[in-house]
Structure 1
Amino acid sequence: MNRDGASPPVDLQAMMDGLWTKVHQYNPLAEEDHLRRGYAFASSAHAGQKRRSGEPFFVHALTVADILADLRLDVDTIIAAMVHDVVEDTDYTLDDIRQRFGGDVALMVDGVTKISGIRTANPEARKAETYRKLVLAIAQDPRTVLIKLADRLHNMRTIEYLEPDRQRDIAQETMDVYSPLAHRFGIARIKWELEDLSFKVLKPERYFEIEAGIKQTRAEREHLIEKLATPLREALAEAGVRCRVSGRPKHFFSIYRKMQDQEIGMDRVFDLLALRVITETKADCYHALGVLHSHFPPLADRIKDYIATPKPNMYQSIHSTVRLPGSKYIEVQIRTESMHELAELGIAAHWRYKEGGGAGKADLAQMVTWLQQIMEWEEDVDDARAFMDSVRNDFFSDEVFVFSPGGDVFQLPRGATPLDFAFRIHSEVGFRCIGAKVNGRIVTLRSELHNGDTVEVLTGKKPSPSANWLGIVKTSRAKHHLRRWLKTTRYEESVRLGRNIIERELKRAKLRIRVDELVDVAQQMGYSDLDKMLAAVGGGEITQAKVVARVTPPPESAAEKVLSKGRDLYDSL
């Protein structure tokens, strides 16, 4: 920024040349003409538009494309990033995008436009609807979310140009919606930056306090890291473990959160000091761990094996905090090269250009196995906020690892109960649950599970769920199955009750009609089948009199009664 507060001139062509150089370095087969057509089209479409900073509006889209190029994404995603604001902010349509760049690019742009197009005065409602659309956009194309994350990252980098209130709203939405999504998709490098930028806006005093504290101890920390790194490199080399060892920066918001959660000062945040060991094979990871512990004593409760039990976002690594001479502590992370790539890039790693041709569209099934569950859960909730709470509780909260009596490991969100565990095993186990044992002791179904607990579910012969269980379970899986069971059970009970009521009413009216003969009546009353009409009667939505009236002959007039009686007398002669 210049002294007068204005932004320096921007050379868009130079930015595009730099983008092409970056893409060409990791993707020699990329079509330069195709990429530059995207640039020319978007640059022309946004001509004359300015950002709050005074820069050309197109700088934003070009920077978003550059962020995604840093992740080595495929050319279609880079082009979609360049044109992602065209439909929303110019007169061009989605068909124009499709005709020029193809269906994949158009699909991504459509997804980003729908997410950006949420307009509501209520910030919480907007946040919830954004959350819902972001998650469900995965069903169309996961790259849509990557573009939106990069879009939000650049907006956070330039947030100082907005009014303070607007800054806080956007930072809070970033912390509540975008950072958890980046975490769920395993994109560490975007998650950390989003959190730190939001933290700086929302709690500036604490941000600068931590920044100052880290600067004051930088020399000491670098000395301690080298104090461990040098002998560790030598020991690993002597043991024949091929690897590289490097320091790992600790991010400001994670330091703050740890201080808050554990009610400690910065001097007690052990992983301010951190090393990362990157090996060639999984076996080398465990070999390296043995070497580490033979030279530096570990803290027993600070060893976590995410290789054996990956996190929900597929993160794998071994974490161990060890003690150095002088009662100093340092965390060491051990992982393979492929685990490291996935930890840094998450879902983006599946769309990176791979040598040998094209974008590596690896099987995303493991990353988004929960998508089908989410689609089902959406049917169970009434509004976007309930949907957001449901998904966030299951997939973005801290987790606990518990064991079955057979030794199988199960991952549950923090706060989960034995009833959640029962439904995690199978819905039928959940329905028939009558009690539980944790670590061999009988506990209530409301008891909170903790890391390392061994949980045994006690079951009865028949399902016996209660509506009260909805207040006990924490996971959306359990709530989904319970709601479905209760809804089905109540429906079946309403059908049975409605059938009994109609049968009694038909007898009272002395009508020789069976209930099963009322199919036409159900359709006349607007029901697709007989059971739905009977359920409506049993549930009190309609009266039995209305149904029976449809098959009751109209009453005879006085004249008709006389004639009828005369016919009866004549017949008796």
Structure 2
Amino acid sequence: MGFPGLRSASSGLLSAIKATSRLGKRGAKRTENTSQPDTLAADVSAALAEQAAAVSDAASITRLQSIVSEYLEAKEVAQIKEAYRFSDQAHLGQFRSSGEPYITHPIAVTEICAGWKLDVQALMAALLHDVMEDQGVQKSALAEQFGPEVAELVDGLSKLDRLDFATKAQQQAESFRKMLLAMSRDLRVILIKLADRLHNMRTLDAVSPEKQRRIARETLDIYAPIANRLGLNAVFREMQDLCFAAIYPNRYQVLQRAVLAARGNRREVLTRIFDSVRAALPAAGIEADVSGREKTLYGIYRKMVDQKKSFSEVLDIYGFRVVVHTLPECYLAMGILHQLYRPVPGKFKDYIAIPKLNGYQSLHTTLVGPYGTPIEFQFRTHEMHNVAEEGVAAHWIYKTDEMSLSDIQKRTHAAIQSLLDIQSQTGDSGEFLEHVKVDLFPDAVYVFTPNGEIVSLPRGATLVDFAYSIHTDVGNRAVASKVNGEYVPLRTELSSGDTVEIITSDASRPSAHWLNFARTGRARSEIRHYLRTVRYAESVAFGQRLLKQAFHELQTSYPEEDNPTWDKLIKESGARSREEILADIGLGKRLAAVVARRFSPENSLIATTAAEFDTLSAARAAPIHIQGNEGQAVVLSPCCGPIPGDEIMASLRVGAGLVVHTADCPVAKRARAREPERWVDVAWDKTTARHFVVRLDVTAVNERGVLGKIAGEIAQADSNIIRVSSHDDAESFVMNLVVQVDDRNHLAKVFRAIRRIHQVRRIVRVKGN
């Protein structure tokens, strides 16, 4: 990757060398016949000297030394020099794609980190960040010379290039996972990595256009959002513009020319506003730094694409930033400008009272300036400004004691912990990377818990996402939800300002269809983790129940774990363990009766197909007993909603376990006619679970207070309403209720309670969606 300061020198040198090559013999002869010095040769010499000087400056740590001397002690500066010498020696003979020595890259990365005032260990790691990956230096050698702390940082920054991966995407995902784990132990890892990526983006024109687009897309998807989450807004904005230039170079150039033209056209308006603001604030006794702010090219481009606007319709390209000394002055300054110019309704945002996810704080307001031009103003204190530009790196002091962390560092720690929760629940590296991309999504909505606490979620998040953001157990047991006091489905998208309450039940379990509307990486990874692990455990337990029942039918005892037949069965069936065989039984992949027959002394290990054994034993097969709390191994079909006391039947679906229907379910009857071999006899166990869900339609006279009476009677019947909706006309209205009951007897009790209300005309149990 090219060093930015060398581009002009390099191009001049190339031009000079090409010109020299065209001289040939004629040029040489002409030189011999003239007494005048050859100007072209002089140009080449000058270009060579300029190139050499530029390379020398880039490969020197003089500028870095002057930066770090401002805040580090002399002995720490000496340690940085030692790391530089080691890195320079390790990279000797290695060059970047642009042709300059490789050491120029670690130096540039370290200068960026020094601008954030990172400590000496971080700066040493920045200088050494590629020696393990590119030069094969061992971690133990770094630890011995520079200490274990520096070695750990460098190791966290090293990609997994030396391992074999099936695809480039898998390698990228695994390398990112490794970096994230290192980042969780030490936040300086990601800060150095962001500085590394920023310098690579600045020098991206030294590689092929295809590689430029690939690196830029990865930066835009992963590293720019991370910079935004950490509050490194200056890095975030620069990365976005650099990525935009690499991915869409023509669009970038066209938009850049348009912005320059607009800047000239609006110069008079902006100057008038600037002068009036600078005069109004001191007159009110407020000392402020007022500066112009220009929207990034990528920001303009995204607004044009997202809102389908032309460039001329994007009016908020320019704005002003007002930096004051105290927090009250932010609000006072804004009030003064609201008297000076008319504010645009709905364009006020208070990020001081409710900071952004990354800790950003400012007041935003849009005012109508001269000639009707809308101009955005931002008001913040000097401390807020530092955080807004440098985020978690602002006045960096590395701390391990969580109690001594600043507010923004605590926010960052929480964000990293959320990513760690995702990675701990995700087995596949590609899936993990997709979850992380979602959770780094910059936009957010802010909702409230019933206690008034603020919860930040990505835009588009649903109630399932909210439930998992509170706690995994809340998400796993979510059964219903309220938004602003009204019952709504779990798939409902949240809006800023909503007050959200999640209703849980011990009988509730995550469902695979939640993945269709879960938005956050944490919710999706937790649901998938549950479906993979808890479902497996439930399938093993249910499979063991079915197998014990099958042995009871054969009038033999259940085999012990050390029975040698288990080992033979595992080997012959290709299973990895006894638990896998039991899980396959619970999920319907194997028939319990066939597995039990393999243990029978008279049959030994004679292969018996499921169909053959069904023919032999169907006449005396006992029904499978269902409790209703087997979890994912037994599914109570939503098309008929069976509850204890209903006559039931069930089908064995491969991978889905046992799907239970009521005996009169028309869906089940049609399926059984098509595939009778998949259906088995089932019956309710003597002990069943509690709180089965039933849908009721209640028709009543449309009178005041009827709904309250019905809700009271249902509560008196020891039942709970988990969802309600209604539609009405002039004389009557129909309530669609979802209630919890234990069995048919409990449901009958609820019916009798509701019928005691004289306004109720009809009550029906609804089967089906």
Fold-level similarity (TM above 0.5): yes
Once residues 231 and 118 of structure 1 are traced to their aligned partners in structure 2, the CA distance between those partners, rounded to angstroms, is 62
> What's 2:304 paired with?
259
Aligned with residue 426 of structure 2, among 381, 406, 429: 381
> What's 1:324 paired with?
369
Please state whether the residue corresponding to 2:527 is helix, strand or coil.
Answer: helix
Moved more, 260-269 or 164-173: 260-269
> What's 1:463 paired with?
508
- CA deviations on 1:259-310 (whole Å, 9 max, x unpaired) are 2122223344343212112233333323333333233222222212222222
| Aligned 8 A contact 1:435 1:445 in 2 | yes
| Aligned 8 A contact 1:30 1:75 in 2 | no
Higher RCO, 1 vs 2 (CA within 8 Å, ≥6 residues apart): 1
Tell me how far 1:59 sits from its aligned partner: 1.0
Tell me how far 1:456 sits from its aligned partner: 5.4
Call closer, same or farther: CA 1:86–1:211 in 2, change over 3 Å.
same
TM-score, structure 1 normalization: 0.83
> What's 2:639 paired with?
none
> What's 1:202 paired with?
247
> What's 2:71 paired with?
26
- CA deviations on 1:381-432 (whole Å, 9 max, x unpaired) are 3422221221221232422233456654432212222333344445555455
> What's 1:518 paired with?
560
> What's 2:586 paired with?
538
Call closer, same or farther: CA 1:136–1:426 in 2, change over 3 Å.
closer
Tell me how far 1:367 sits from its aligned partner: 0.5
> What's 1:338 paired with?
383
Which aligned pairs between 1:132-171 and structure 2 lie closer than 5 A? 132-171=177-216
Which aligned pairs between 1:293-442 and structure 2 lie closer than 5 A? 293-349=338-394, 351-352=396-397, 364-404=409-449, 408-427=453-472, 429-431=474-476, 433-436=478-481, 438=483
Once residues 81 and 459 of structure 2 are traced to their aligned partners in structure 1, the CA distance between those partners, rounded to angstroms, is 48
> What's 2:100 paired with?
55
Q: How many residues align?
A: 548
| Aligned 8 A contact 2:228 2:236 in 1 | yes
Tell me how far 1:253 sits from its aligned partner: 1.0
Tell me how far 1:342 sits from its aligned partner: 1.8
Once residues 477 and 219 of structure 1 are traced to their aligned partners in structure 2, the CA distance between those partners, rounded to angstroms, is 47
| Structure 1 unaligned residues grouped into runs of 5+ | 355-359, 557-573
Aligned with residue 277 of structure 1, among 314, 322, 345: 322
Call closer, same or farther: CA 1:481–1:387 in 2, change over 3 Å.
closer
Tell me how far 1:120 sits from its aligned partner: 6.0
Tell me how far 1:199 sits from its aligned partner: 0.9
Call closer, same or farther: CA 1:532–1:119 in 2, change over 3 Å.
closer
2:46 is the alignment partner of 1:4: no
| Aligned 8 A contact 1:445 1:472 in 2 | no
Once residues 565 and 119 of structure 2 are traced to their aligned partners in structure 1, the CA distance between those partners, rounded to angstroms, is 54
2:118 is the alignment partner of 1:73: yes
Once residues 379 and 509 of structure 2 are traced to their aligned partners in structure 1, the CA distance between those partners, rounded to angstroms, is 46
Once residues 133 and 43 of structure 1 are traced to their aligned partners in structure 2, the CA distance between those partners, rounded to angstroms, is 26
| Structure 2 unaligned residues grouped into runs of 5+ | 1-7, 15-47, 605-769
Once residues 398 and 545 of structure 2 are traced to their aligned partners in structure 1, the CA distance between those partners, rounded to angstroms, is 66
Once residues 58 and 504 of structure 2 are traced to their aligned partners in structure 1, the CA distance between those partners, rounded to angstroms, is 69
| Aligned 8 A contact 1:521 1:550 in 2 | no
Tell me how far 1:551 sits from its aligned partner: 7.9
Please state whether the residue corresponding to 2:426 is helix, strand or coil.
Answer: coil
User: Which residue type is aligned with residue 333 of structure 1?
Assistant: Q
Call closer, same or farther: CA 1:26–1:505 in 2, change over 3 Å.
same
| Aligned 8 A contact 2:58 2:104 in 1 | no
2:114 is the alignment partner of 1:114: no
Please state whether the residue corresponding to 1:264 is helix, strand or coil.
Answer: coil
| Aligned 8 A contact 2:357 2:411 in 1 | no
Call closer, same or farther: CA 1:493–1:105 in 2, change over 3 Å.
closer
> What's 1:180 paired with?
225
Tell me how far 1:16 sits from its aligned partner: 0.8
Once residues 382 and 565 of structure 2 are traced to their aligned partners in structure 1, the CA distance between those partners, rounded to angstroms, is 64
Structure whose CA Rg is larger: 2
User: Which residue type is aligned with residue 316 of structure 2?
Assistant: D
Once residues 269 and 49 of structure 1 are traced to their aligned partners in structure 2, the CA distance between those partners, rounded to angstroms, is 47
Q: Give aligned-pair identity as a percent.
A: 38
TM-score, structure 2 normalization: 0.64
Once residues 288 and 488 of structure 2 are traced to their aligned partners in structure 1, the CA distance between those partners, rounded to angstroms, is 47
> What's 2:730 paired with?
none
Call closer, same or farther: CA 1:507–1:404 in 2, change over 3 Å.
closer
User: Which residue type is aligned with residue 4 of structure 1?
Assistant: L
Once residues 294 and 339 of structure 2 are traced to their aligned partners in structure 1, the CA distance between those partners, rounded to angstroms, is 25
Please state whether the residue corresponding to 1:15 is helix, strand or coil.
Answer: coil
Please state whether the residue corresponding to 1:378 is helix, strand or coil.
Answer: helix
> What's 2:17 paired with?
none
Once residues 140 and 73 of structure 1 are traced to their aligned partners in structure 2, the CA distance between those partners, rounded to angstroms, is 16
Please state whether the residue corresponding to 1:271 is helix, strand or coil.
Answer: coil
| Aligned 8 A contact 2:184 2:420 in 1 | no
2:535 is the alignment partner of 1:490: yes
Once residues 266 and 138 of structure 1 are traced to their aligned partners in structure 2, the CA distance between those partners, rounded to angstroms, is 40
Please state whether the residue corresponding to 2:344 is helix, strand or coil.
Answer: strand
Once residues 69 and 162 of structure 1 are traced to their aligned partners in structure 2, the CA distance between those partners, rounded to angstroms, is 27
- CA deviations on 1:210-265 (whole Å, 9 max, x unpaired) are 21122223345454444334433444334444432222232211121122122223
Call closer, same or farther: CA 1:424–1:362 in 2, change over 3 Å.
closer
Once residues 130 and 221 of structure 1 are traced to their aligned partners in structure 2, the CA distance between those partners, rounded to angstroms, is 47
Once residues 344 and 549 of structure 1 are traced to their aligned partners in structure 2, the CA distance between those partners, rounded to angstroms, is 71
Tell me how far 1:42 sits from its aligned partner: 1.3
2:199 is the alignment partner of 1:190: no
| Aligned 8 A contact 2:160 2:171 in 1 | no
Call closer, same or farther: CA 1:93–1:464 in 2, change over 3 Å.
closer
Once residues 231 and 405 of structure 1 are traced to their aligned partners in structure 2, the CA distance between those partners, rounded to angstroms, is 45
